């Protein structure tokens, strides 16, 4: 019987075997290893698991402001050390665009150490997305092979528009815009039109749907939210929690309510992140 079950498993489609795989691309480690233990405890209590999770050190009580690049470098090192220790953890480094050459050097350094993701946050780190130093930084990150993660909760008017313009000016850099515009997610439907304009859009923008998915599920805007996911491209959407502010189990509960196909959900839960980050 065991041999029969094994044979059936080997014959099953790969998509069926991996349909429950989950990758969480947005985890804040406010307290280092203690935060990882808390994150894992939440998952265990809910009977949930992840194959990988992307984690950053800044946010909440931890600031990554301009003027102290040595501290940022040390904290990036501590993060990569944690990633080496914890199976499945993907380090998300940071820099501050206003640190100029020091920030560019840190981009090169973390990329050389195998880091794949770089998170910068206009509001937390207090920088203007339209500043030329930001464009210089994200271009350098793209050249180094880093994917740039940026907050897109649309806290202030014009946030999404500024990020779109940044992506247009840095076509060789891949971006993940976290929260997919928050409640301004409708703006991003214009990507369906941007793709029809020759030589305009490099299709270099991905989104995580942390936080927004909780507001959208079982709400009057749910159909529009799903419509937006399909317009920006299901292949460009990632699952994320924004722990510790929001738990992954709560995020998944909301996500499963969306009227998406099983294939679409599997891509968003893990397939898209696996492809984008080269995890195969």
SS3 per-residue string spanning the chain: CHHHHHHHHHHCCHHHHCCCCCEEEEEECCCCHHHHHHHHHHHHHHCCCCCEEEEECCECCECCCCCCHHHHHHHHHHHHHHHHHCCCEEEEECCCHHHCHHHHHHHHHHHHCCCCEEEECCCCCCCCCCCHHHHHHHHHHHHCCCEEEEECCCCCCCHHHHHHHHHHHCCCCCEEEEHHHHHHHHHHHHHHHHCCCCCCCCCCEEEECCCHHHHHCCCCCHHHHHHHHHHHCHHHEECCCCECCCCHHHHHHHHCCCCCCHHHHHHHHHHHHHHHCCCC
pTM of the complete model: 0.92
* pLDDT-based confidence at residue 22 (cuts at 50, 70, 90): very high
- What per-residue confidence (pLDDT) applies to 1? 41
Enclosing domain of residue 169: 21-276
| pLDDT higher than threshold 60 for residue 262 | yes
Q: What is the CATH number of the domain that holds 157?
A: 3.20.20.140
* pLDDT-based confidence at residue 280 (cuts at 50, 70, 90): confident
Domain total in the chain: 1
Give a yes or no: residue 229 inside a domain: yes
Give a yes or no: residue 60 inside a domain: yes
Give a yes or no: residue 8 inside a domain: no
Percent pLDDT > 90 in the chain is: 91
pLDDT digits (tens, 9 = 90+) for 123-177: 999 999 999 999 999 999 999 999 999 999 999 999 999 999 999 999 999 999 9
* pLDDT-based confidence at residue 8 (cuts at 50, 70, 90): very low
Give a yes or no: residue 10 inside a domain: no
- What per-residue confidence (pLDDT) applies to 143? 98
């Amino acid at each position: 019987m065991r041999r029969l079950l094994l044979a059936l498993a080997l014959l099953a489609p790969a998509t069926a075997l991996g349909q429950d795989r989950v990758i969480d691309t947005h985890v804040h480690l406010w307290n280092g290893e203690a935060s990882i233990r808390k994150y894992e405890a939440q998952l265990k209590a809910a009977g949930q698991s992840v194959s990988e999770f992307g984690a950053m050190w800044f946010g909440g009580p931890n600031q990554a402001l301009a003027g102290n690049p040595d501290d940022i470098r040390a904290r990036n090192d501590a993060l990569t050390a944690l990633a080496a220790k914890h199976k499945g953890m993907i380090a998300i480094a940071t820099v501050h665009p206003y640190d100029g050459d020091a920030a560019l050097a840190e981009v090169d350094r973390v990329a050389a150490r195998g880091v794949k993701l770089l998170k910068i946050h206009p509001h937390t780190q207090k920088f203007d997305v339209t500043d030329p130093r930001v464009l210089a930084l994200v271009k350098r990150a793209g050249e180094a092979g880093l994917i740039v993660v940026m907050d897109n909760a649309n806290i202030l008017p014009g946030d999404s528009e500024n990020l779109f313009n940044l992506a247009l000016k840095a076509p060789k850099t891949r971006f993940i815009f976290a929260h997919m515009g928050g409640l301004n997610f409708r703006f991003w439907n214009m990507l369906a039109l941007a793709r029809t304009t020759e030589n305009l859009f490099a299709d270099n923008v991905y989104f995580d749907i942390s936080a927004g998915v909780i507001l959208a599920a079982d709400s009057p805007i749910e159909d529009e939210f799903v419509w937006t996911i399909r317009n920006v491209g299901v292949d460009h959407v990632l699952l994320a929690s924004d722990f510790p502010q929001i738990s992954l189990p709560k995020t998944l509960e909301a996500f499963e309510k969306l009227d998406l196909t099983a294939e679409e959900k599997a891509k968003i839960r893990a397939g898209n992140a696996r492809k984008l980050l080269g995890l195969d």
